[in-house]
């Protein structure tokens, strides 16, 4: 047996995800008020998205140090950061694996009105630092 090739795993993940998600997108595109999804159709689409998630995670785990370290890049940076933008509402940002990528540089991610009707802006403050500005009490990082 040959050693696993990361590029081959990426190609496999991309092909699996593309095929399955295109099917889900096609099915959802046909839904409207006159023809809603049945419980069985909803369950089937949910199963497909769960299969895609499992395929991607299992393929990536082959290259992780302990087989389960999905939260940290090889250089120790977090793969994702979660920020509680208001009580009970958590925003998650996935950091690009290339440290100097534009998505990791300071920029605004989005602005939205919270459940309390106050506007909040979530942004990358610095590489690896997620922050939020809103009127009211301080926000706290969840992870």
- pLDDT tens-place string over residues 90-136: 999 999 988 999 999 999 999 988 888 889 999 999 999 999 997 55
Residues 88 and 135 both lie in one domain: yes
Give residue-wise pLDDT tens across range 80-94: 999 999 888 899 999
140 sits in which H/E element: strand 140-141
pTM of the prediction? 0.68
Six token digits for residue 79:
């793969």
Q: What are phi and psi of 10, to 5 degrees?
A: -65, -45
Structural domains in the chain (count): 2
CA-based nearest residue to 132, from 143, 120, 142, 141: 120
**In terms of residue numbers, what domain contains 30?**
6-61
From 23-27, 33-37, 82-86, 110-114, the region with the lowest mean pLDDT: 33-37
Residues 36-50 as b or e (16 or more Cβ within 10 Å = b): eeeeeeeeebeebee
Residues 28 and 57 both lie in one domain: yes
CA-based nearest residue to 143, from 74, 73, 75, 72: 72
């Amino acid at each position: 047996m040959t050693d696993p090739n990361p590029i081959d795993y990426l190609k496999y993940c991309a092909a699996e995800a593309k095929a399955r998600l295109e099917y889900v997108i096609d099915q959802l595109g046909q839904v409207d008020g006159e023809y809603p999804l049945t419980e069985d159709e909803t369950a089937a689409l949910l199963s497909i998205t769960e299969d895609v998630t499992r395929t991607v995670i299992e393929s990536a785990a082959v290259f992780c140090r302990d087989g389960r370290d999905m939260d940290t890049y090889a250089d120790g940076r977090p793969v994702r950061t979660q920020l509680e933008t208001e009580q009970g509402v958590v925003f998650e940002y996935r950091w690009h694996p290339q440290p100097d990528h534009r998505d990791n540089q300071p920029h605004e991610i989005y602005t939205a009105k919270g459940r309390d009707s106050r506007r909040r802006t979530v942004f990358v403050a610095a590489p690896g630092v997620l922050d939020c500005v809103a009127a009211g009490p301080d926000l706290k990082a969840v992870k």
